[in-house]
Structures are given as C-alpha cells and as structure tokens.
Structure 1
Amino acid sequence: MRKKQLETDRLFFSNWTEEDKDLAEKLWGDEKVTHFIAKDGHLSKRQVLQRLALEIKSQKAFGFQYWPLFLKVTEEFVGCCGLHDYDLENRIAELGFHLVPSAWGKGFAEEAARGVINYAATQTDLTTLFAGHHPENQASEKLLKKLGFQFQSKNYYEPTGLEHPSYLLKLTTIN
C-alpha cells in the first residue's frame, strides 16, 4: 500500500520513489504522452529516469512534485499531477499533469488538477499557479481555461522548441 499524499473522489496521490522506474517508463516512455512535451515526441529511457529523479528531487527540495496518481478502487496507476518550482520567490508554482492514454477522457486530469489547486490554496503559501501547454494540445488548453487559468502570453519552452501559451491562476480567487 502506497502512502497517500492527498486524495480526490476517485484518485489518490502518492510520492515518486526510486522503485517507480516501471511506472515512470509506463508514463513518460509512452510517445502518446510525450508527444506534446518533448522536442522529437519521445523521451529515451535515460530521459525518463532523469524525469523520475527530478520529481524525487522536487519533493525533497520544495515539498511537492508531479505526484503519481492512482485510482482509489483498484490502485491502478493513471499518471501524475502536481506542482513544480516556477518562481517560488514570488510564491508561484507550476501546475502540471500527464496521464497514461488509458486514463484519457475520463475526467481524471480535471479532478486531479482541482485537487492540486485546492492543496496549493489551502496547504501552501503560494499565491499563484502557472501553467502552459503545447500550442497544438487543445485538450490542455480547454482544461486550463475551465479551471480558471487566464492566458498571459506565449513563452519559449525549450523541451519542444516552441512558443507555448502560458496561463496564471490567482489562488486568492479560490474558495
């Protein structure tokens, strides 16, 4: 049984560990997942392990990461959602989510993101969340707007080499 970091109606969040190499490969090793987050559409095994190490390091340094997500009922791994350091000096973190393809279209991204937004608003001193998406990822664009994020500008995102639409959500507007 994994330790639960936080929960929503259908999901629980845990922490990435060194033992999660298979889960990391299932997520970031899938080109359907990395199509919009990597320059050539995929991550090598080495890059997947680097991503896993980044998440573990983030948790230790900041108390958050893109936490792995599991279904409460079956404990099936469905992806990750959480926060990364963005501009903590100004109390801004980045919200992000990646789901395995079998979990797409079931409302898990929205449910997980709302859980993380609530966590950020009630359990941290953050004032704002940043989020961005690949310019062709219409599903992420739609979800960010539904969550209340406001478009700010397009910013260069080195992993894809493209200008990504960028958004902010003021946590003071969250009840």
Structure 2
Amino acid sequence: MGLENVFEQFPILETERFYLRKLTTEDAPEMFSYFSQDDVTKYYNLESFTHRQQAIDLIEKFNLGFIERRQIRWGAELKETGRVAGTCGFHAIDAKNFKAEIGYELHPDYWGKGIMPEIVKEIVAFGFEKMDFNRIEAMYDPRNEQSGKVLIKSGFQYEGTLRKRYFEKGQFVDAAIASIIKIP
C-alpha cells in the first residue's frame, strides 16, 4: 500500500473487541471523561482536562495531523457499547527512515484487561504491512510501568532510558525507549 496511499482515506481496523476508526467530535465526552483524570495524564505531556472543549481540540489536532500526513490516531471503539475507550496511533512519522513512534491512552475503567496490547498489535501490523515501516518505537516515562508492560506484551523490546529527555509539567523527566522491528 505504501505510506502515501494510507493517507488517501482514513483506514478502519478491527480487533476482537474494537473497531479502530477516525475520531469525531462526538467522541469528545468519552475522551474528556478519561483525559480529565489525573491518573491518565500523570505521564502524559498535558494537564488534565477541565473543559470538554479541550477534548474537541485534541480530536481536531489528531485529525489535522492525518490530513497533513504527519500522524494517524485511531479511536478505539468498543464493539459492545459503541463508545471510545481510548486512542492509539503513530506520530513522529519519519518516511525517509521507514519508522514512526506509537502512542496510546486508555480509560482507567479498562486498565488491566489486555485491551491495549490487543490494539497496539493490530496497529503495529498495519504499520509494517501497509505503511512500510521497518521500525516502530515508543517513548514513555519509565515510572509508568504499565505502559512498559503493554509494550513488552505487544512484542516491543526495551532499549534504554534517555535521562532528562523531556521538560514536562515543570520538571525534567526521563524517557524509556522501546521498539519493535519488522521481521522480513
């Protein structure tokens, strides 16, 4: 398919429990419900939401990234309820080097149920098969042990920790890096 073809129309993916689809402003209430929780934003480079408009703005930012061919972020819609439980996708797409960074978040009601590895594996497969990536990497706060576990369950390998890599919420924080490589 190739990277350029991916951006012609937003791809819809499916896992056992989820439809992975384009976010719409109708998803703002669900996104606000989890982005307004400090447990969700604790390791995220943004403050907890206080207004629903912030969720709308983030959805529009994700969708603009797709239009500009810089990122692709899927909403994870639960098949059983039709509600968005989180998002996952690629940013920092580097076509020249056949790689991208993956990111995700999930409503705390669904933590610990194997959901994010299910979603990540599907999106990684799409990245390798349809976007021609050779490498997909993830940067996460090493204190966020759950995120590290999600990546390992999804086939990523921990590569190391970059000391004081980011300045977030008034302090320098480390960034762990993990990656998965396309197997020929």
**TM-score higher than 0.5 here?**
yes
Number of the residue aligned with 1:157: 166
Q: How far did 1:115 drift?
A: 0.7
**Conserved? CA contact 1:121–1:172, under 8 Å:** no
Larger CA deviation: 69-78 vs 58-67: 58-67
The answer for unaligned runs of 5 or more in structure 2 is: 1-9
Please identify runs of 4+ aligned residues in structure 1 that moved more than 6 A.
none
TM-aligned CA distance change 1:57 to 1:159, over 3 Å:
farther
1:42 aligns with 2:53: no
Calculate the TM-score normalised by the size of structure 2: 0.80
User: How far apart in 1 are the matches of 2:166 and 2:122?
Assistant: 26
User: How far apart in 1 are the matches of 2:166 and 2:57?
Assistant: 18
User: How far apart in 2 are the matches of 1:172 and 1:159?
Assistant: 35
Q: How many residues align?
A: 170
1:85 aligns with 2:92: yes
Q: Which amino acid aligns with 2:166?
A: Y
CA RMSD of aligned residues (A): 2.4
Number of the residue aligned with 1:168: 179
1:116 aligns with 2:118: no
Structure 2 counterpart of 1:10, from 14, 17, 21: 17
- The 5 A counterparts of 1:118-157 are 118-155=125-162, 156-157=165-166
Number of the residue aligned with 2:33: 26
Calculate the TM-score normalised by the size of structure 1: 0.83
TM-aligned CA distance change 1:4 to 1:92, over 3 Å:
closer
Q: Aligned with 1:136: secondary structure?
A: coil
TM-aligned CA distance change 1:67 to 1:159, over 3 Å:
farther
Q: Which amino acid aligns with 2:48?
A: H
Q: Give deviations 1:64-102, integer Å, cap 9, x for gaps.
A: 522111111221321111211243321211112100011
Number of the residue aligned with 2:73: 66
User: How far apart in 1 are the matches of 2:70 and 2:80?
Assistant: 26
**Conserved? CA contact 2:31–2:84, under 8 Å:** no
